[in-house]
Amino acid sequence: MTLLLHPFLAEGEALPTEEDQIFFLRATPDPVWEAWRRALVCEQSFKPTHDALVRQGFKTTPRIVEGTARVVLCAFTKHRGETLANLARAWTLLAPGGLLVCAGSNDTGAASLIRALGKAVEGGISASKHHGRVFWVRRPPEERGLVEPMTGWLAAGALQPVAALDGRFSRPGVYGWDKVDQGSRLLAEYLAAHREQIRGHVADVGAGWGYLGLQLLEVCPHLDALDLIEAEGLAVEAARANLGELTQRQQALTRVVWQDAAAEPLPRRYDWIVCNPPFHQGKATDLGLGKAIVSTAAAALHRGGRFLMVANRHLSYEAHLDACFSSWRDVGGDASFKLIEATVS
């Protein structure tokens, strides 16, 4: 995000040197960061973006948990609660006298986020550029700890039990973090109705915080192993926390895998795979993402294995299902969602 460079290139802030420590929260790959490679530590919990940063040679981690930096960069996400928590974390990671620079496109709610930060800290400067906003401020040399209301932001963005999810754990930054979407509910009902058939090695691809995987563990008595496969590290953390509430037997047969299922082969062969595939990149519909996951799932099934998918009725997966599977059929759903069962022979 080149907006983050604005204070250095247009406003006279001193450019970091190779000896400086720079943290970049929700980092994205871009050639503009090449000059800062040795000083930059990138944080990115979304596996596809994390892996792209690693391929470009940047030091990258799913989460920065300690250390201080002369400069902390923070890119806004579409999740307000996550972004506010990241801004609070950025403040704790910043050396006294260090510079915080944060930015986002207008569709992330950047103006509102910057107003909130501007009320929390003094002396900040903002600018509007390239359909987005950027804000920068120096941490006072004498200041220690968090300022209000950052303590609340940090708590609200943390892993937490969610009452609406019957005691399950989740957090802002995870898709549908405080609810269950109707497509997943429909698929869960189908799993319960066919609990005796679902057996052997099973995977939930695109598992999120673990809703479908937990349903499988609760209703299907013949599972030998269950893999929850998810690309967002924040969701992986929540899924692992949710497994901690289960019986020892359920925990023993289950593992959570941080993986980009659209780009990497699944970790083993399966008898059944269930999936509520994502179909958005940002706010844009990207059917290619779901198709890539379907292809990966088909390649990971044993002969005779079955794939269960829920999808919005307006999304056209049919031709791709023809190409990937021996047969498939629409097995239900409602006016908005279709349930598909496909077989590899």
Q: Coil, strand or helix: which one is 99?
A: strand
Give pLDDT, residue 162.
92
Decide the pairing of beta strands 40-43 and 59-61: parallel
> Alpha-carbon distance 107 to 57, whole Å?
30
On whether the CB atoms of residues 36 and 16 are closer than 8 A, the answer is yes
Given this model, what pLDDT does residue 283 score?
52
Whole-prediction pTM value?
0.95
Rounded CA-CA distance 170/208 in Å is: 9
Angle at 239 between CA 217 and CA 66, to 5 degrees: 155
Q: What is the 3-state secondary structure (H, E, C) of 271-285?
A: EEEEECCCCEECCEE
Enter the DSSP assignment of 139. Answer: P
Alpha helices in 179-286 (DSSP H): 182-193, 211-219, 233-243, 248-252
Three-state secondary-structure class, residue 33: helix
pLDDT of residue 245: 85
For 165-169, which contacts have Cβ atoms below 8 Å and span 24 or more sequence positions? 165/211, 167/245, 168/209, 168/210, 168/211, 168/214, 168/238, 168/242, 168/245, 169/209, 169/238, 169/241, 169/242
The span from the CA of 65 to the CA of 45, in Å, is 13
pLDDT tens-place string over residues 168-212: 999 999 999 999 999 999 999 999 999 999 999 999 999 999 999
User: What's the confidence (pLDDT) of residue 45?
Assistant: 98
Tell me the HSE value of 206 on the side-chain side, using a 13 A CA sphere: 25
Per-residue pLDDT of the chain (345 residues; tens, 9 = 90+): 689 999 999 999 998 887 899 999 999 999 999 989 999 999 999 999 999 999 999 999 999 999 999 999 999 999 999 999 999 999 999 999 999 999 999 999 999 999 999 999 999 999 998 899 999 999 999 887 788 999 999 999 999 999 888 889 999 999 999 999 999 999 999 999 999 999 999 999 999 999 999 999 999 999 999 999 999 999 999 999 999 989 999 999 999 999 999 999 999 999 999 999 987 555 556 789 999 999 999 999 999 999 999 999 999 999 999 999 999 999 999 999 999 999 999
CB 271 within 8 A of CB 312: no
What is the reported pLDDT for 282?
53
Q: What ranges in the chain are assigned the alpha helix state H?
A: 6-9, 47-55, 80-93, 110-120, 150-156, 182-193, 211-219, 233-243, 248-252, 287-299, 318-324
CA distances from 42 to 55, 191, 288 (A): 13, 40, 27
Contacts of 167 (CB under 8 A, 6+ apart): 161, 245
3-state secondary structure 9-25: HCCCCCCCCCCCCEEEE
Which position has the token pair 């294995």?
A: 305
Other Cβ atoms less than 10 A from the Cβ of 102: the count is: 29
Angle at which helix 80-93 crosses helix 110-120, to 10 degrees, equals: 40
d(CA 316, CA 306): 20
Residues ≥6 apart with Cβ < 8 Å to 136:
7, 11, 13, 99, 100, 101, 102, 124, 125, 126
Say whether the peptide bond before residue 149 is cis (omega within 30 degrees of 0): yes
Do residues 323 and 336 touch, judged by C-beta distance below 8 A?
A: no
